[in-house]
Amino acid sequence: MCDEAKSNDDVQEPSLAEKFSKLLRELEHYNEIEQKHTILEMNGMVEEMSEEEFRSIFTIELFDTINRMIEEMMISMENAILLLKHVGYYKELKCFICYSFDYSSLRESMKEMIIDENEKKKDEKLLTDLCECFALLGDDDIFDEILSIVVPCLLKIASKKEESKKVQKEMEMSLLALSCIDENDFIEQKLYLNEIKEIIKYRREHHNLTRLAYQSAWKFLIYRSYNDESFTEVIVNELHFVREAAKELEDLSKCMDWKRKEERGKETEDEIVLMRWFEMLEIYFRNCRSWNEEYSGLIRSISQVYRASRDNCFGIQLQCLYSLREAAENKDVKTDNFLESGTIGLYLEEIQRPTLDDKMAYEYLLFFTNVSKRLKIKEKDEKVEAKRKATKMESFGKMEEEGYEDVITSFHGIFDFLNSEYGYELSTKISDYN
């Protein structure tokens, strides 16, 4: 009896990958209604997957199998889309990177289906579903020949003015799919600019988009600026991205549960959207070539989120630091923004904490290097130079009060270690920090 009990205990529970693969194989033997019920169960599994599990399950072979099942009519197109769209939605929502779809036969088949459906112009819903799946599932560039189909198709859904929950979900899905179109994919402005501007402006007045949909609309537009500097004027001065980003960070921060992860459970959608904003802000600060007076407010909002997330949400803390690092490296963001926003004071507090993590120390030191370097560069314009001198005097005065030089000197012994661990960027000269 003891041996029997022991052998039962030794039987391992099938892994998530094994369960998912088993259900996929069983789909071939089910009718359409049974398939739908099984796919809904599989979709529930997708929502629980970690990035590692997602990559192990959604291989090139799995996407090839789904393609074969569609071609051999072992699964209806409606059910295939029910599965694939859900997979793509959660892959993008959680920012998973997985190139398997890009190298599968399903990608090529789906591209041909999009072209074919667009030519037939009979089933608008099917075309939209195919475009959403194609954009959401891939991580590689989209084929140029179908961008002119995909973008207008998705914008048409995203431009709806109704405010029902169902329509909001449709708009969210389309905008999320649009946000997946890589910055390297060139799209003619006439295909999207007026429409995406109207979507953003309408939402501001009527609040008809979810937070995720609104963030996705901005991400799509920010990506377009990657290859076109003329977008800076539209994004910064016409649509007031900086002001809107600050407001969204503040609103999301108020909705967040800032308890430790083990206390608050799995990620909420607000937490996911907040992370997506920071990932987008990194890109924005890296590419932005314009400045206005609203920047100080955005820098302040990032610093406030950092304070709120401190000790409990390490991932969000790091995203705040990455965004501020990109801002400090961007010459179009004024150094006095970091003083006015309280960021320099915050970093001076943080770098002196006794429990400081090495990664955090590296980020603080890198920030101070960038700010100090910029404060030393003389300006040709007399008014700008006077402002620089005043900012420098105030900044270094505050640093001196906080014992900044002694703190930096205390880190000197680990500069080489931090450089080898995190990127070989820190100067080993103490003079570069003051």
- Mind listing the pLDDT tens digit for each residue in 233-291? 889 889 999 999 999 999 999 988 877 666 666 788 899 999 999 999 998 998 887 77
Angle at 169 between CA 120 and CA 251, to 5 degrees: 140
Reply yes or no on whether the pLDDT at 324 is more than 90. Answer: yes
Predicted pLDDT at 32 = 94
From first CA to last CA, the distance across the chain in angstroms is 75
Distance CA 235, CA 221 (A): 8
Which residues fall within 8 angstroms of residue 85, CB to CB, at 6 or more apart? 129, 132, 133, 136, 173
CA nearest neighbour of 275 among 330, 243, 314: 314
Confidence class for position 340, pLDDT limits 50, 70, 90 = confident
Residue recorded with tokens 């407001």: 247
**Quick one: what percent of the chain has pLDDT higher than 70?**
95
Q: Domain ranges for the chain, please list them.
A: 14-140, 229-333, 334-434
CA nearest neighbour of 433 among 411, 408, 410, 416: 408
The alpha carbon of 61 is separated from its chain's Cα centroid by a whole number of angstroms, namely 27
Question: Residue type at 314?
Answer: F
Distance CA 88, CA 82 (A): 10
Predicted pLDDT at 76 = 94
Burial degree of 161 (CB within 10 A; 0-12, 13-18, 19+): exposed
Predicted pLDDT at 71 = 96
Residue 38 DSSP class:
H
Reply yes or no on whether the pLDDT at 379 is more than 90. Answer: no
Global model pTM greater than 0.85: yes
Distance CA 56, CA 44 (A): 17
Distance (Å) of CA 156 to CA 13, 43, 174, 201, 300: 46, 27, 9, 16, 36
Summarize the confidence of residues 146-174 as an average pLDDT. Answer: 95
Predicted pLDDT at 286 = 87
| pLDDT, the chain, mean | 89
Q: How many residues does the chain have?
A: 434
Predicted pLDDT at 182 = 85
Classify 71 as helix, strand or coil: helix
- 52 near 96, Cβ under 8 Å? no
Distance CA 147, CA 371 (A): 41
Residue 14 DSSP class:
P
Confidence class for position 357, pLDDT limits 50, 70, 90 = confident
Confidence class for position 49, pLDDT limits 50, 70, 90 = very high
Predicted pLDDT at 6 = 47
Where is 394: in which H helix or E strand? helix 382-401
- 323 near 278, Cβ under 8 Å? yes
Reply yes or no on whether the pLDDT at 73 is more than 70. Answer: yes
Predicted pLDDT at 3 = 56
Predicted pLDDT at 8 = 52
Instruction: For 6-44, write each residue's pLDDT tens digit.
Output: 455 556 788 888 899 999 999 999 999 999 999 999 999
Instruction: For 94-148, write each residue's pLDDT tens digit.
Output: 999 999 999 999 999 999 999 999 999 889 999 999 999 999 999 887 767 799 9
Which residues fall within 8 angstroms of residue 39, CB to CB, at 6 or more apart? 27, 79, 82, 83
Question: Residue type at 54?
Answer: F
Summarize the confidence of residues 322-328 as an average pLDDT. Answer: 92
Distance CA 160, CA 170 (A): 9
> Which tokens is 45 given?
């599994």
Distance CA 350, CA 138 (A): 39
3-state secondary structure 315-338: HHHHHHHHHHHHHHHCCCCCCHHH
Which residues fall within 8 angstroms of residue 201, CB to CB, at 6 or more apart? 239
